[in-house]
């Protein structure tokens, strides 16, 4: 426990000074956004064992809505973020309500198919800008007090949100609600026979995860200044699975680690390897599934004899 | 001229024919997916990639090796099927003990690899594959103009689907296959080599996808990403039909293709999502799918 706290404090300090270490703040923010996305996804896969294959829908829809609210409607930054999150929450509620009717791989296929609907809507709707996406999304300011145009100011804002989300997810997992989720993960029929309304718990977890994924998406839109079809695409859904799996699903730090590895790889490989990037990503997928199912953090925890949660 | 919803009848029939062609691909692909799922319990995400590889095998054969369409129809499924056998041997086999989602994730990774390699080698743009000379031209049926190749695709795929159904439901081999689906250990105890059967089943399912790819090559552009969105539609088709149901896969594939074609006439904007919307409705009404048994 003490080692864990020391690790978190160390990571926190590192995150605080990171922009002064010569690291490009926009890249750091992108890392944090995708780490947040992966943490939100992990709430489902890691702690409830529901594999959603369509999480890009919530991430991307929220990115589009936030971008649209800022650029077209002229909303303030915070309101636009909340608007995006509200939409992904609603989407999560609708898709989740249909998907939780089935388990396992069926659940995966249904979430994938319904996410594809969101993709096509984004492709064809007027407000998303079609193939071009939304460009030039301004970051605005926090309640008119602090301008977020400066990369460092924006970085600390994103970092604060990430830390809040991270702690919130820890709180959920350790709450009585989280205990029920773990019971469902371990043995669903038994949880039913104990009298828990399993579907309702699963739906709640789904909506929470979708909303947090939406939060990550709208922050990403503000950080990079654009929202595009690749945010809502199947590829993005696959990547968040890879991040979580690679880092270690069901661990708190795993998705963060996985997101760092995947985003860094993409950033450096895209110049070097071009279209071979997807081959490399696919190969990592295969290796993870075949020999590395616990992920980086899961393996470390096993070595040092800690329980996974 | 006769019109329906203000659209001329021949145009509607043309779209329906196109829908039926797409439905033939859905049927072939979802049939393979259902057979693989039934025996292996694996949702084969790479199915779209194997369909793409089938089309590319035909294209490469014609461009570089001088192999014509008819030989491609035989050789492409064979080659890609062998690749499937190899993948089952090397990777999938080791995942039968763990949860089924890992099979889905593994095949997703394989699909990414296959698509990435083909994109690196051939670029992202589509390649055209000529319609074989024997099947060129159109038939004038009086009420509509029917391209011969499209009719051939529907006939060929319905025939192959029918043969597969016969093989599984009416032959000795099929009986063993169905028995192994019910209880693999018991069938193994009776002296049937189940691992080899599983391997061949995966190869056969993959070969069906490749066959669909060859059939599709002259109708659509051959491109590395042709399978990645198709596979999601096919997933929806098998969810609607009920996973593991052979008849369900074939019938819902064809019918959904038709419905999609009809939507293109009535309300084109919705044509790409109509299958998914139907899936959602079916799930609300009958969670196990139309032909599936309650889990």
Domain region containing B188 = 3-285
Q: How does residue B293 score in pLDDT terms, banded at 50, 70 and 90?
A: low
* Residue of A93, A117, A281, A293 to mutate when probing chain B, most B C-beta within 10 A: A117
Task: Give dist(CA A100, CA B216) in Å, integer.
Answer: 35
Task: Give dist(CA A130, CA B194) in Å, integer.
Answer: 50
Residue A112 touches partner B, C-beta closer than 8 Å: yes
* Residue of A51, A98, A106 to mutate when probing chain B, most B C-beta within 10 A: A106
Lowest mean pLDDT among A79-93, A113-127, A261-275, B113-127: A261-275
CATH of the domain at B128: 1.10.3470
For residue B222, give the 3-state DSSP assignment. Answer: strand
pLDDT(A71) > 60 = yes
Structural contact between residues A80 and A66, judged by C-beta atoms closer than 8 angstroms: yes
Q: Would you call B105 and A289 a contact, using CB atoms and an 8 Å cutoff?
A: yes
Q: Which of A275, A276, A289 sits opposite B102 (nearest CB)?
A: A289
First to last CA, chain B: 51
Q: What pLDDT, on the 0 to 100 scale, is given for residue A308?
A: 45
Q: What pLDDT, on the 0 to 100 scale, is given for residue B110?
A: 95
Residues in chain B within 8 Å Cβ distance of A102? 283, 287, 295
For residue A22, give the 3-state DSSP assignment. Answer: coil
Number of domains in chain B: 1
Q: What is the pLDDT of residues A21-33, one digit of tens each?
A: 878 888 999 999 9
Task: Give dist(CA A208, CA A55) in Å, integer.
Answer: 12
ipTM score assigned to the predicted complex: 0.87
Q: How does residue A137 score in pLDDT terms, banded at 50, 70 and 90?
A: confident
* Alpha-carbon distance values, B276 to A109, A121, A235, B20, B226 (Å): 11, 12, 19, 18, 19
Residue A193 touches partner B, C-beta closer than 8 Å: no
In chain A, beta strands by DSSP E = 141-142, 146-147
Residue A102 touches partner B, C-beta closer than 8 Å: yes
Q: Which residue of B has its CA nearest to A124?
A: B269
Q: Mean pLDDT for chain A?
A: 89
Q: What pLDDT, on the 0 to 100 scale, is given for residue A159?
A: 94
Q: Which of B43, B116, B276 sits opposite A282 (nearest CB)?
A: B116
Residues with Cβ < 8 Å from B212, sequence gap 6 or more?
B24, B25, B28, B29, B51, B54, B157
Asked whether residue B294 is domain-assigned, the answer is no
Indicate if the alpha-carbon torsion angle B209, B212, B217, B222 is positive or negative.
Answer: negative
Task: Give dist(CA A102, CA B103) in Å, integer.
Answer: 18
Domain boundaries, chain A: 23-230
Q: What is the pLDDT of residues B50-104, one digit of tens each?
A: 999 999 999 999 999 999 999 999 999 999 999 999 999 999 999 888 888 889 8
Cβ burial of A152 (10 Å; 0-12, 13-18, 19+) is: exposed
Residue B283 touches partner A, C-beta closer than 8 Å: yes
Q: What is the mean pLDDT of residues B146-159?
A: 92
- The Cα of B22 is separated from the nearest Cα of chain A by a number of Å equal to 18
Residue A124 touches partner B, C-beta closer than 8 Å: yes
Q: What is the mean pLDDT of residues B196-201?
A: 92
Residue A24 touches partner B, C-beta closer than 8 Å: no
Residue A276 touches partner B, C-beta closer than 8 Å: yes
pLDDT(B204) > 80 = yes
pLDDT(A281) > 70 = yes
Asked whether residue B188 is domain-assigned, the answer is yes
Q: What pLDDT, on the 0 to 100 scale, is given for residue B294?
A: 52
Asked whether residue B31 is domain-assigned, the answer is yes
Residue A281 touches partner B, C-beta closer than 8 Å: yes
Residues in chain A within 8 Å Cβ distance of B278? none
Residue A244 touches partner B, C-beta closer than 8 Å: no
Query: What is the DSSP-derived secondary structure letter of residue B65?
Result: I
Q: What pLDDT, on the 0 to 100 scale, is given for residue B152?
A: 93
Structural contact between residues B31 and B23, judged by C-beta atoms closer than 8 angstroms: no
Structural contact between residues A204 and A93, judged by C-beta atoms closer than 8 angstroms: no
Residues in chain A within 8 Å Cβ distance of B232? 112-113, 116, 234
Q: Which of B101, B117, B232 sits opposite A113 (nearest CB)?
A: B232
SS (H, E, C) A166-208: HHHHHHHHHCHHHHHHHHHHHCHHHHHHCCCCHHHHHHHHHHH
In the stretch 46-75 of chain A, residues with CB closer than 8 A to chain B read 51, 53
pLDDT(A236) > 80 = yes
Nearest to B31 by CA among B158, B195, B191, B145: B158
Q: What pLDDT, on the 0 to 100 scale, is given for residue A309?
A: 46
* Residue B190, CA atoms < 13 Å, CB-side half-sphere: 10
């Amino acid at each position: 426990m003490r080692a864990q706290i020391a690790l978190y404090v160390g990571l926190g300090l590192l995150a605080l000074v990171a922009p002064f270490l010569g690291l490009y703040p926009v890249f750091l923010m992108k890392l944090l956004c995708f780490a947040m996305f992966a943490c939100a996804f992990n709430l489902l896969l890691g702690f409830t064992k529901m594999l959603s294959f369509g999480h890009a829908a919530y991430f991307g829809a929220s990115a589009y809505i936030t971008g649209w609210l800022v650029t077209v409607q002229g909303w303030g930054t915070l309101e636009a973020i909340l608007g995006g999150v509200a939409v992904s929450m609603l989407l999560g509620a609708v898709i989740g309500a249909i998907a939780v009717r089935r388990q396992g791989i069926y659940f995966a296929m249904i979430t994938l198919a319904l996410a594809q609907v969101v993709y096509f809507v984004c492709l064809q709707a007027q407000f998303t800008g079609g193939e071009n996406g939304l460009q030039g999304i301004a970051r605005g300011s926090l309640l008119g007090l602090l301008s977020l145009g400066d990369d460092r100011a924006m970085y600390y804002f994103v970092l604060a949100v990430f830390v809040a989300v991270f702690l919130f997810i820890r709180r959920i997992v350790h709450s009585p609600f989280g205990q029920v989720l773990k019971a469902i993960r371990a043995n669903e029929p038994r949880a039913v026979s104990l009298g828990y309304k399993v579907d309702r718990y699963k739906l709640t977890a789904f909506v929470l995860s979708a909303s947090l994924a939406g939060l990550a998406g709208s922050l990403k839109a503000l950080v990079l200044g654009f929202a595009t079809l690749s945010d809502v695409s199947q590829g993005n859904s696959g990547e968040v699975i890879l991040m979580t799996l690679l880092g270690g699903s069901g661990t708190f730090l795993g998705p963060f680690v996985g997101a760092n590895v995947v985003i860094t790889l993409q950033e450096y490989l895209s110049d070097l390897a071009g279209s071979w990037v997807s081959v490399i990503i696919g190969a990592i997928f295969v290796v993870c599934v075949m020999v590395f199912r616990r992920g980086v953090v899961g393996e470390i925890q096993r070595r040092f004899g800690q329980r996974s949660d | 001229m006769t019109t329906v919803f203000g659209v001329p009848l021949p145009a509607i029939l043309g779209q329906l024919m196109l829908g039926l062609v797409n439905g033939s691909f859905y049927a072939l692909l979802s049939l393979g997916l259902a057979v693989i799922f039934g025996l292996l319990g694996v949702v084969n995400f790479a199915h779209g990639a194997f369909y793409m590889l089938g089309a590319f095998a035909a294209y490469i054969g014609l461009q570089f090796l001088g192999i014509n369409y008819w030989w491609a129809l035989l050789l492409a499924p064979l080659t890609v099927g062998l690749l499937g056998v190899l993948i089952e041997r090397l990777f999938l086999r080791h995942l039968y003990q763990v949860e089924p989602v890992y099979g889905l994730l593994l095949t997703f990774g394989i699909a990414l690899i296959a698509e990435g390699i083909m994109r690196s080698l051939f670029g992202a743009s589509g390649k055209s594959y000529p319609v074989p000379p024997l099947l060129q031209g159109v038939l004038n049926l009086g009420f509509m103009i029917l391209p011969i190749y499209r009719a051939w695709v529907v006939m060929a795929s319905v025939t192959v689907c029918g043969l597969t159904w016969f093989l599984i439901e009416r032959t000795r081999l099929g009986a063993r296959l169905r028995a192994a689906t019910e209880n693999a250990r018991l069938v193994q105890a009776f002296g049937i080599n189940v691992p080899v059967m599983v391997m061949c089943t995966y190869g056969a399912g993959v070969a069906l996808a490749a066959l669909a790819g060859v059939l599709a090559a002259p109708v659509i552009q051959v491109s590395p990403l042709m399978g990645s969105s198709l596979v999601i539609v096919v997933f929806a088709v098998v969810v609607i039909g009920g996973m593991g149901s052979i008849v369900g896969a074939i019938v819902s594939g064809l019918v959904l293709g038709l419905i999609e074609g009809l939507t293109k006439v009535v309300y084109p904007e919705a044509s790409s999502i109509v299958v998914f919307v139907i899936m959602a409705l079916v799930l609300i009404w009958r969670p196990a799918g139309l032909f599936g048994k309650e889990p």
